[in-house]
């Protein structure tokens, strides 16, 4: 069945790129709302931005969604991952600024806030997008593949010449709280020279060792080091969980990312939903039972909605 929050979960922090402080309230929402952002600081129309794959307007530094009025919300991926990982189908996320607070650069603070608010079971069955054939996107040496699977599987690999990162691979499935155990506390990362360049361009103004792993030529600059030896690939999978939740429902299938990033993660959703033979929408009930597919016309309307 679908779930929302029992109560509003509130958090505040700074935006990674704007450096401005922002207050966020994750409110309960009705069945079939999905995840929707509400910009309380925008006074005229267009304060609503749906967290959907076809509303993504920028993927260069983080995932940004926007609406037809030019109102956008940035750095949504770690929050989207927490909502997906905690099983939240419906929520209205109120923000008084253009960016979700970065917190510690992982999903931990969002998971804690959602868990403290609690989940409420709703009346409608959860819809799931079942992958029916392999879909992949390549961009240079980056590649993302979605394949049929009976699991909600995420795996990936990266290779960096930096000795603190190197080659890493990891995989998990989103069941039994695995998101919280395996991915939620893994932080975003960047290289010092990139951070310095971004600062010179007026970006990453809120970035610090408090909300990212930063690497210089010698190694990890954060005084407490890494939370896990393979924190980097795990964070890449955390990003993938968040980016793929812009599908509007959990994806029943296997995601595999090779040097993946936000752009290819979004591109694979565009390719999936452009091919009506590649997926079907199924309803799931408690206990994990899966209904026969909803008709292709419903699947089409689901894919193009909002
Ligand atoms: Zn990230």
Q: Which residues of 195-228 are buried (b: 16+ CB within 10 A; e: fewer)?
A: beebeeeebbebbbeebbbbbeeeebebeeebbe
Three-state DSSP at 142 gives: strand
Check pLDDT > 70 for residue 165. yes
Three-state DSSP at 91 gives: strand
Q: Quick check: pTM over 0.85? A: yes
Give dist(CA 238, CA 126) in Å, integer: 22
Cα 236 to middle of ligand 1, angstroms: 7
Q: Check residue 216 and give its pLDDT.
A: 92
Average pLDDT over all residues of the chain: 92
Cα 262 to middle of ligand 1, angstroms: 9
* Residues in the 5 Å CB sphere of ion ligand 1: 188, 239
**Domain count along the chain:** 1
Q: Check residue 122 and give its pLDDT.
A: 96
262 an active-site residue? yes
Q: Check residue 25 and give its pLDDT.
A: 98
Q: Report pLDDT digits (tens) over 257-298.
A: 999 999 999 999 999 999 999 999 999 876 555 555 554 445
- Note whether 242 and 80 are within 8 A (CB): yes
The percentage of residues in the chain with a pLDDT greater than 90, rounded to a whole number, is: 77
Q: Which of 267, 116, 130, 102 is nearest to 188 (CA)?
A: 102
Which domain covers residue 43, as residue numbers?
A: 3-304
Q: Which of 174, 170, 9, 190 is nearest to 81 (CA)?
A: 174
* Mean per-residue pLDDT, 215-240: 95
Confidence of residue 103 (pLDDT cuts 50, 70, 90): very high
The percentage of residues in the chain with a pLDDT greater than 70, rounded to a whole number, is: 93
Q: Check residue 290 and give its pLDDT.
A: 58
The CA-atom distances, in angstroms, between 181 and each of 119, 154, 177, 184 are 19, 14, 6, 7
Q: Which of 58, 77, 73, 82 is nearest to 22 (CA)?
A: 73
**Which residues are registered as beta bridge partners of 143?**
138, 258
Q: What is the CATH number of the domain that holds 300?
A: 3.30.1700.10
* Mean per-residue pLDDT, 155-161: 94
Cα 131 to middle of ligand 1, angstroms: 24
Indicate which residue of 181, 262, 270, 300 is catalytic.
Answer: 262
Q: Check residue 304 and give its pLDDT.
A: 44
């Amino acid at each position: 069945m679908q779930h929302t929050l029992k109560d509003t979960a509130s958090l505040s922090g700074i935006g990674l790129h704007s450096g401005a402080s922002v207050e966020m309230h994750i409110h309960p929402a009705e069945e079939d709302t999905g995840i929707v952002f509400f910009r309380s600081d925008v006074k005229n129309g267009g304060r609503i931005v749906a967290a959907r794959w076809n509303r993504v307007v920028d993927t260069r530094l983080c995932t940004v969604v926007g609406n037809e009025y030019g109102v956008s919300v940035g750095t949504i991926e770690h929050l989207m991952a927490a909502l997906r990982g905690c099983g939240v189908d419906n929520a209205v996320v109120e923000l008084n600024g253009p960016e979700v607070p970065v917190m510690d650069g992982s999903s931990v603070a969002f998971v804690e806030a959602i868990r403290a608010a609690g989940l409420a079971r709703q009346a409608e069955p959860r819809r799931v997008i079942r992958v029916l054939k392999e879909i992949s996107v390549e961009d240079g040496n980056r590649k993302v593949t979605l394949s049929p699977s009976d699991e909600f599987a995420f795996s990936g690999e990266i290779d960096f010449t930096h000795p603190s990162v190197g080659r890493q691979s990891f995989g998990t499935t989103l069941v039994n709280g695995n998101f919280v155990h395996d991915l939620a506390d893994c932080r975003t990362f960047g290289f010092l020279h990139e951070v310095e360049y971004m600062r010179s361009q007026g970006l990453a103004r809120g970035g610090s060792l408090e909300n990212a792993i930063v690497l210089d030529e010698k190694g990890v600059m954060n005084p407490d080091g890494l939370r896990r030896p393979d924190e980097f690939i795990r964070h890449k999978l955390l990003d993938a969980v968040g980016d793929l939740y812009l599908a509007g429902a959990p994806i029943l299938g296997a995601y595999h990312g090779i040097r993946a990033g936000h752009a290819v993660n979004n591109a694979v959703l565009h390719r999936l939903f452009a091919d009506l033979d590649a997926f079907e929408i199924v309803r799931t009930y408690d206990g994990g039972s899966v209904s026969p597919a909803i008709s292709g016309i419903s699947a089409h309307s689901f894919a193009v909605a909002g």
